[in-house]
Amino acid sequence: MSISLEQVSKHYGGSVAISDVSVEIADGELFVLLGPSGSGKSTLLRAIAGLTPIDRGRIVLHGRDVTHVSAREREVGFVFQNYALFRHMTVAENIEFALRARGVGAAARRARVNELLELVSLQGLGKRLPSELSGGQQQRVAVARALAHEPRVLLLDEPFGALDAKIRDELRRAIRDIQRTVGITTILVTHDQEEAFTMADRIGVMDRGRLQETDEPRVLYTRPRTRFAATFLGAANLLLGRIEGGGVRVGNTVFDTNPSERGGPPRHGEVTVLIRPEDIVLGRSELSAASAGELGYGTVRQIEFVGVLERVRLHVEPNEWLTSALAPGARFTIEATRNSRDAETTKLEVGQRVRIGAKHVHVLPTPISSLRLVGASEPDVERLASSSLVRELATRMHIAPVRHLSSSGIPPEALGGLAVVPFDRAGGFDGIARLLDEGARQVLGIADGHRRIERLVIYIQPTRAAREAALAAAGTLLRHLAVEGTLLVPAADRTVRGTSYRDLLDIRHAALRAHGVDVRTETFRGDVADAIGKRIHPSAPTLLLLGVSSPSSCYGLIEELGPRLAPRPPAATLIVRGNADADRDANTISYLRSASVLG
């Protein structure tokens, strides 16, 4: 591996700039860090160059740990957005700066400068001053300068930001060519998804200091794993679907899901579905593409002509089967793009009611598809809605929470997404257990809604089913909350020495592979309740995530934990039930009551 980052973190004062970023970049690869401004991508790049010190983690370049090595000794080339050329030096003097710093002789310097000028197609301009060159040429000089000392890593920080569209396009191709010619491992930072698509071998999507998702451009676009990647890489229609008989039902059609999809979609219940605008098919009475499945009807609100394409926005009234994943139950907009031929054959007008279909849907493997607030009374539900955790999840995941009253029985749709209940001290885990019992797969109990959650403590029962579901949930939480995650793994005494470490590595590897999010792992000996209790400090509001394999298997855990945590309960508790065990256990509540651990 050329570049290897391990759990790199950086804080500025109280705010997180980079949070546990781990990634490996292969030799000669062009890796693009893509993210909105303030996502920490530039900070990460500067950290790799050694220009910004990191708080935690390890940076390895070509097998050499450079975490504590100064920038001048890291042998990287860095290209800045504003070029950062030395304006009082000629182009040639700029390019040979690194060679001068290394005491290279004049003849060798001149030869290398000429070679580099040719590489960036600026032959004969060596005697010019930077100010006599155009922006694009200046950036070429900056690239040549960064390559002069033959670094093994090239880092480009938004190198095209200050250029106009045509030059940018040309320079992108030029840099891509240069990178291939030299064969240098390269990281490019950008906020422009088109740039990322055209240049990258692989893209890492960053948001809020976390590397959200990493993959090849095509895979990221067609089969993203996270809501953020889905919406950041191009226009996206996010809808709620329901797993039904091996497929996913959206609107009036059960679509096939691709069984080989990465991360594995949840096997049952409510899921988030992505439909790209170009996969939407519109028709006045019949859908134009025979292979498309019907979703429902909508009203044309807006038609935009954008060159080769036509962009149509439709308003859709939601129903039980067709509703937005952004604001379930509210009227929503579907965006469609059509090529000029479709636009010609099926002319549409604003205000027209049309049939909407989809050629293809993609199920996001993310476990949290909606936020369902369940309370006995309206004030209860409102208290949940105003809790800091719900507000944070809602804004960061772009989900409008749905309010449900449990007084007249729990509505079945409330069990689909992430069910949120008050964690009242008298009832303890009662509310959570009741929903699990009804069939909910993940229930969040909120004890203290006032303070922001700062830490996430995860304990997972040692079964595969529990592990998968809980890690998926943990991954989603870590991606969207600015919290530190700690995964507790028992260091089993009975097993052979080393087994627990293999377990630990296994679980971290699983977390990394399936969810792209790294967590810190800590082993403990002895009692689970003790270990968890020790990690819940009143000073840092904690979210406790318990992964269980079935409702029945959580009895024991709750029985153990209940009394220990009662004096100082975590600010919130999330219990995630494994996917494999779908059987419901009607006795949960009665069992918990009789176990007298819930007060």
Partner 1 sequence: MSARAAAYRSRWVEPSILPGFNLTLGISVAFLTAIVLIPIAALVLKAGSMPLDELWRIATEPRALASYRLSFGASLIAATLNAVFGFIIAWSLVRYRFPGRRFVDAIIDLPFALPTAVSGIALATVFSPQGWIGRWLEPLGIQVAYSWVGVVVALTLIGLPFVVRSVQPALAEVDATLEDAAESLGAGRFMTFRRVILPTVAPALATGFTLALARAIGEYGSVIFIAGNLPMRTEITPLLIVIKLEQYDYLGAAALGLVMLSISFVLLLTINALNGWRAARALGRRR
* Residue 301 phi, psi dihedral angles, 5° rounding: -110, -30
In the bound state with partner 1, the residue whose beta carbon lies nearer, of 87 and 534, is: 87
Q: Binders of partner 1: how many residues, by CB under 8 A?
A: 32
In the bound state with partner 1, the residue whose beta carbon lies nearer, of 148 and 271, is: 148
**Shortest spacing between CB 419 and partner 1, in angstroms:** 49
- Residue 506 binding partner 1, by CB under 8 A: no
State the distance between the two ends of the chain, measured CA to CA, in whole angstroms. Answer: 55
Strand arrangement of the beta sheet that strand 309-316 belongs to: 280-283, 353-358, 293-306, 309-316, 332-339
In the bound state with partner 1, the residue whose beta carbon lies nearer, of 147 and 356, is: 147
Which of 38, 56, 60, 97 binds partner 1 (CB under 8 A)? It is 97
In the bound state with partner 1, the residue whose beta carbon lies nearer, of 182 and 488, is: 182
Kindly list the distances between the CA atom of residue 303 and the CA atoms of 311, 342, 432, in Å, as whole numbers in the listed order: 6, 13, 47
Q: How far apart are CA 207 and CA 190, in angstroms?
A: 12
Angle, alpha carbons 196-476-568 (nearest 5°): 145
Angle, alpha carbons 458-464-469 (nearest 5°): 55
**CA-wise closest residue to 314 among 267, 263, 353:** 353
In the bound state with partner 1, the residue whose beta carbon lies nearer, of 37 and 539, is: 37
Answer yes or no: are the C-beta atoms of 304 and 337 closer than 8 Å.
no
In the bound state with partner 1, the residue whose beta carbon lies nearer, of 130 and 209, is: 130
- Residue 464 binding partner 1, by CB under 8 A: no
- Residue 12 binding partner 1, by CB under 8 A: no
Which of 98, 545, 557, 574 binds partner 1 (CB under 8 A)? It is 98
Which of 130, 209, 475, 570 binds partner 1 (CB under 8 A)? It is 130
Answer yes or no: are the C-beta atoms of 355 and 336 closer than 8 Å.
no
**CA-wise closest residue to 77 among 148, 8, 171, 23:** 148
- Of the listed pieces 76-84, 439-447, 491-499, 547-555, which binds partner 1 according to CB under 8 A? 76-84
- Residue 51 binding partner 1, by CB under 8 A: yes
3-state secondary structure of 119: helix
- Residue 529 binding partner 1, by CB under 8 A: no
- Residue 72 binding partner 1, by CB under 8 A: yes
**CA-wise closest residue to 262 among 213, 204, 199:** 213
Answer yes or no: are the C-beta atoms of 588 and 555 closer than 8 Å.
yes
**Shortest spacing between CB 145 and partner 1, in angstroms:** 7
Q: How far apart are CA 229 and CA 207, in angstroms?
A: 9
- Residue 70 binding partner 1, by CB under 8 A: yes
**Shortest spacing between CB 232 and partner 1, in angstroms:** 27
Which of 18, 33, 47, 76 binds partner 1 (CB under 8 A)? It is 76
In the bound state with partner 1, the residue whose beta carbon lies nearer, of 98 and 314, is: 98
In the bound state with partner 1, the residue whose beta carbon lies nearer, of 26 and 101, is: 101
Which of 58, 149, 268, 301 binds partner 1 (CB under 8 A)? It is 149
Kindly list the distances between the CA atom of residue 424 and the CA atoms of 5, 23, 473, 484, 555, in Å, as whole numbers in the listed order: 42, 41, 23, 25, 18
Give the DSSP letter string of 322-377.
Answer: --BSSSTTS-EEEEEEEEHHHHHHS---TT-EEEEEES--EEE--S---EEEEESS
Q: How far apart are CA 157 and CA 43, in angstroms?
A: 10
- Residue 37 binding partner 1, by CB under 8 A: no
- Of the listed pieces 49-57, 301-309, 391-399, 456-464, which binds partner 1 according to CB under 8 A? 49-57
**Touching partner 1, residues 77-96 (CB under 8 A):** 77-78, 80, 82, 84, 86-89
In the bound state with partner 1, the residue whose beta carbon lies nearer, of 48 and 363, is: 48
**CA-wise closest residue to 281 among 224, 231, 334:** 334
Write b or e for each residue in 406-418: b if 16 or more Cβ atoms lie within 10 A of its Cβ, otherwise e: beeebeebbbbbb
Which of 35, 40, 50, 431 binds partner 1 (CB under 8 A)? It is 50
- Residue 67 binding partner 1, by CB under 8 A: no
- Residue 68 binding partner 1, by CB under 8 A: no
> Greatest CA separation found in the chain?
88
- Residue 101 binding partner 1, by CB under 8 A: yes
In the bound state with partner 1, the residue whose beta carbon lies nearer, of 93 and 454, is: 93
**Shortest spacing between CB 137 and partner 1, in angstroms:** 13
Q: How far apart are CA 578 and CA 548, in angstroms?
A: 6
- Residue 132 binding partner 1, by CB under 8 A: yes
Q: How far apart are CA 151 and CA 76, in angstroms?
A: 5
In the bound state with partner 1, the residue whose beta carbon lies nearer, of 131 and 408, is: 131
Answer yes or no: are the C-beta atoms of 73 and 153 closer than 8 Å.
no
**Touching partner 1, residues 470-499 (CB under 8 A):** none
In the bound state with partner 1, the residue whose beta carbon lies nearer, of 151 and 551, is: 151
Give the DSSP letter string of 66-98.
Answer: -TTS-GGGS-EEEE-TT----TTS-HHHHHTHH
In the bound state with partner 1, the residue whose beta carbon lies nearer, of 49 and 575, is: 49
**Shortest spacing between CB 47 and partner 1, in angstroms:** 12
**Shortest spacing between CB 50 and partner 1, in angstroms:** 8
Q: How far apart are CA 113 and CA 106, in angstroms?
A: 10
- Of the listed pieces 72-80, 117-125, 295-303, 331-339, which binds partner 1 according to CB under 8 A? 72-80
- Of the listed pieces 128-136, 226-234, 246-254, 564-572, which binds partner 1 according to CB under 8 A? 128-136
- Residue 49 binding partner 1, by CB under 8 A: yes
- Residue 74 binding partner 1, by CB under 8 A: yes
Answer yes or no: are the C-beta atoms of 376 and 406 closer than 8 Å.
yes
- Residue 17 binding partner 1, by CB under 8 A: no
Residues engaged in binding partner 1 (CB under 8 A): 46, 49-51, 70-74, 76-78, 80, 82, 84, 86-89, 97-98, 100-102, 129-132, 145-146, 148-149
